[in-house]
């Protein structure tokens, strides 16, 4: 297995060669020339952009067949618009016969992430990702071995990494792939807002030129369903500003993407440095943490908030997590939200965000309503 340090030292051409060799060896061993591309549950734009780019690389660059599969529904309006406007086609991993594939390529996720499902005994041939690898839980089952890893935490988007593979292999993205990669870079970097590399900038500008401009506009500003505004009204009534953080624990939500949508919405509040939103959907409790431009460390802070419960991931200004609830209809949901609120307020006090003491003052503890 390649480790992170050795991957950073590789040149772009060496990365392409290593991936080509890994897939060729797997094909010779299995007798198949079909690769399954998978990402995390309910993929976001970066996951979809990286998957579409990887499919193009495998088919046109390596002369093999590739299928993109997903797990979980795509809920968010912008993400649905991306699928619709770019005519993206994904298979349902849970309904597929995985035995016909030589192996799996993971993009924008890692086998040890809790929101990622590795199908059956399918070998993980490669992992292409830019997220911080999680700390290993000694009590958890070991993740499956990976033949090749390219994990670059400093890169703003996994789509940018896949773009580099394409260009190095001599493949110029067509309008569909360029649009998907552009959306991925746009989403994960906030339109190159901060903390991006030269690679992210090259991918953003080149793919923007190659994509359908009208489609990109429709993706960025899609029509919103009525339930979005109902959920927004609930979130506004529930949210409280505690110092520089907005906290909104919403109980049951219409879909898991509503949590991240509200977190994106609240972080735009004047003088807000952090927004944390939580909600329950189909027996799981979802959390989304956002930081404003100029702040970072969302991944580390969410890890402290979760305190070893559930799974989480993220980078820079974006982080998300999920943990199962024993009984979301009865006391479990209320207990989880009460515990989360107390933990966040304690962290605020220790950080000095509200006072010099180890406990937040009464105004910060109660919070200021937004509506």
pLDDT digits (tens, 9 = 90+) for 265-322: 999 999 999 999 999 998 899 999 999 866 778 888 998 999 888 888 887 788 899 9
Domain extents in the chain: 4-220, 227-369
194-246 per-position pLDDT tens digit:
779 999 999 999 999 999 999 999 999 999 999 999 999 999 999 999 989 99
- Domain spanning 4-220: CATH 3.90.1640.10: yes
pLDDT band at 113 (very low <50, low <70, confident <90, very high): confident
pLDDT of residue 146: 93
Domains 4-220 and 227-369 share a fold: no
Pick from 368, 191, 197: nearest CA to 293:
191
Between CA 363 and CA 357 the distance in angstroms is: 14
Are 49 and 180 in contact by the 8 Å Cβ rule? The answer is: yes
pLDDT of residue 330: 57
Q: Has this prediction a pTM greater than 0.85?
A: yes
**Number of residues in the chain:** 371
Which of the four CATH numbers 2.60.40.10, 3.10.310.40, 3.40.190.10, 3.40.50.720 does domain 227-369 have? 3.10.310.40
Are 344 and 247 in contact by the 8 Å Cβ rule? The answer is: yes
pLDDT of residue 357: 45
Q: What is the mean pLDDT of the chain?
A: 89
Average pLDDT of the segment spanning 342-360:
66
Asked if the model's pLDDT at residue 144 lies above 50, the reply is: yes
Check residue 117 and report its DSSP letter: -
Classify 50 as helix, strand or coil. Answer: helix
Are 148 and 17 in contact by the 8 Å Cβ rule? The answer is: no
Residues whose CB falls within 8 Å of the CB of residue 5, separated by 6 or more in sequence, listed in order: none
């Amino acid at each position: 297995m390649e480790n992170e340090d050795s991957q950073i030292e590789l040149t772009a051409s060496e990365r392409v060669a290593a991936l080509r060799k890994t897939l060729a060896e797997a094909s010779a061993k299995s007798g198949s020339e079909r690769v399954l591309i998978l990402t995390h549950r309910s993929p976001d734009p970066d996951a979809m952009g990286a998957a579409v780019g990887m499919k193009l690389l495998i088919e046109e660059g390596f002369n093999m067949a590739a299928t993109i599969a997903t797990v979980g529904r795509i809920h968010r309006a912008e993400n649905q618009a991306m699928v619709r406007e770019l005519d993206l086609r994904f298979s349902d991993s849970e309904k597929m016969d995985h035995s016909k594939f030589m192996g799996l390529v993971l993009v924008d996720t890692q086998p040890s992430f809790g929101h990622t499902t590795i199908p059956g005994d399918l070998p993980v041939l490669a992992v292409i990702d830019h997220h911080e690898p999680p700390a290993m839980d000694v009590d958890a089952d070991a993740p499956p071995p990976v033949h090749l890893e390219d994990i670059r935490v400093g890169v703003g988007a996994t789509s940018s990494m896949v773009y580099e593979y394409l260009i190095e292999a001599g493949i110029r993205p067509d309008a569909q792939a360029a649009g998907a990669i552009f959306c991925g870079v746009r989403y994960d970097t906030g339109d190159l807002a901060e903390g991006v590399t030269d690679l992210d900038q090259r991918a953003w500008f080149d793919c923007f030129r190659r994509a359908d401009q009208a489609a990109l506009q429709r993706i960025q500003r899609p029509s919103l369903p009525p339930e979005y505004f109902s959920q927004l009204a609930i979130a506004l009534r529930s949210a409280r500003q505690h110092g520089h953080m907005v906290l909104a624990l919403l109980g049951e939500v219409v879909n898991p993407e509503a949590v991240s949508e509200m977190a994106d919405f609240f972080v735009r509040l004047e003088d807000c440095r952090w927004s944390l939103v939580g909600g329950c959907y189909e027996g799981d409790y979802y959390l989304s943490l956002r930081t404003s431009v100029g702040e970072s460390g969302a991944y580390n802070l969410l890890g402290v908030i979760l305190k070893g419960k559930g799974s989480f991931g993220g980078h820079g200004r974006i982080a998300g997590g999920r943990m199962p609830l024993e009984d979301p209809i009865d006391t479990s949901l209320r207990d989880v939200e009460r515990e989360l609120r107390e933990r966040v307020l304690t962290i605020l006090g220790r950080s000095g965000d509200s006072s010099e003491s180890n406990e937040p003052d009464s105004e910060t503890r109660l919070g200021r309503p937004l509506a």
